Amino acid sequence: MKKGFRNFLIIATILLAIAVFLAALNIANSNKINWGMEVAGVAIGSLTPQAAWEKLEINHRYLIEKDFYLIYENYKLKVNLKSLGVEINISKTVNLAFERGHQEGKFFLNQWWQIGSFFGYNLEPIWKISEDKLEKFLKENLSAIHQPARNSILVYDRKKQDFTIAPNRAGVVINKEKLRKDLSKIVSKFQTADIQLSLMDDRPEVVETETEKARQQALNLLKKAPIALTVIIDNKTKQIETMDKETVLNLMDFVAVPDETNPQNKALMRKKSRTILFCFLRR
């Protein structure tokens, strides 16, 4: 009997200690980011979201403009995250950090996050890369080693009154997937480090034999020039503008699209007439 009562007291004491610990943790974390929470190694636990944002923003400003090197054999280029198009969203990161442990109506999940954070939890910042900015930077600064493939395109020959084919060209480019992983390591630790680049083959999406359909489409459209643009007002058709052959040629553009006969491949296709019309009306 005494042994059973003693075991009961031990269990009750443990449960009481856990309850007191959780209650104290809830009080400590009230309206604050969980105790022990970090972002990229920067401690923000027990801070209000505003204080956490200010602390992370200071570190972010320093990191985003701190120089490091992209290296490939004899090439060594000084860069920073900002020049490579890396964008770290501090506000969303802080909101996510606060949300973990403060979700309305999710008591047990909140307790789980608060306990986990207490023993140490490092959150990776929310970030992304501007692909356009990165590609522009690589082309302008590393063109000697970053040479993307070129698709076959159609060029209008005014003497022949027909389109000629500009040949495709295979290329060699910087392995962006590896570069992204290396940049992710920098962002996740808020610590810069030099990056060793690697190259990979780049194949054109469209070769010479995949341009004929676009050529026929373009020629058919040119045959219709001049093209009258009309609107219907009060059940009457009224001409508002005319697109001559030269205008159609200037607005005509071609894009690579999945080949209908081979979905794994791509073919050249003229942009739809409504796109040409939209560009014309926006002039």
Could you give the C-alpha distances from 137 to 86, 133, 143, in angstroms and in order?
Answer: 12, 6, 9
**Beta pairing class for 121-123 and 171-174:** unpaired
What pLDDT digit, counting tens, does each position of 122-149 carry?
Answer: 999 999 999 999 999 999 999 999 999 9
The ranges assigned to domains in the chain are 2-64+89-124, 208-281
- The pLDDT value recorded for residue 274 is 44
Nearest in space to 156 (alpha carbons), one of 279, 245, 243, 226 = 245
CA dist., res. 80 & res. 238, Å (int): 57
* CA atoms of 134 and 177, how far apart (whole Å): 12
Which tens digit of pLDDT belongs to each residue from 37-73? Answer: 899 999 998 899 999 999 999 999 999 999 999 999 9
Q: What are phi and psi of 231, to 5 degrees?
A: -130, 160
SS (H, E, C) 39-82: ECCEECCCCCHHHHHHHHHHHHHHHHCCCEEEEECCEEEEECCC
Sequence-ordered list of residues with C-beta below 8 angstroms from that of 222, at least 6 positions apart, any chain: 245, 248, 249
Tens-place pLDDT, residues 169-195: 999 999 999 999 999 999 999 999 999
Rounded to whole angstroms, how far apart are CA atoms 113 and 91? 20
* Mean pLDDT rounded to a whole number for the chain: 82
Q: Which residue type occupies 279?
A: C
Helix (H, G, I), strand (E, B) or coil at 84: coil
Q: Please tell me the pTM assigned to this model.
A: 0.71
Task: Provide the 8-state DSSP code for 36.
Answer: T
Structure confidence by residue, pLDDT tens digits, 219-236 = 888 888 887 777 778 788
pLDDT over 50 at 277, yes or no: no
Which regions of the chain does DSSP assign to beta strands (E)? 37-39, 42-43, 68-72, 75-79, 86-88, 121-123, 127-129, 153-157, 162-166, 171-174, 195-196, 199-202, 227-233, 236-243, 254-259, 262-270
Q: How many CB atoms lie within 10 A of CB 153?
A: 19
Are the beta carbons of 265 and 212 closer than 8 angstroms?
no
249's CB contacts (< 8 A; 6+ apart) are: 156, 222
Task: Tell me the torsion sign for CA atoms 78, 82, 87, 88.
Answer: positive
b vs e for 131-144, b when ≥16 Cβ sit within 10 Å of the residue's Cβ?
eeebbebbeeebee
**Between residues 216 and 109, the one the model is more confident about:** 216
User: How many residues are listed for the chain in this entry?
Assistant: 283
pLDDT of 84 above 90: yes
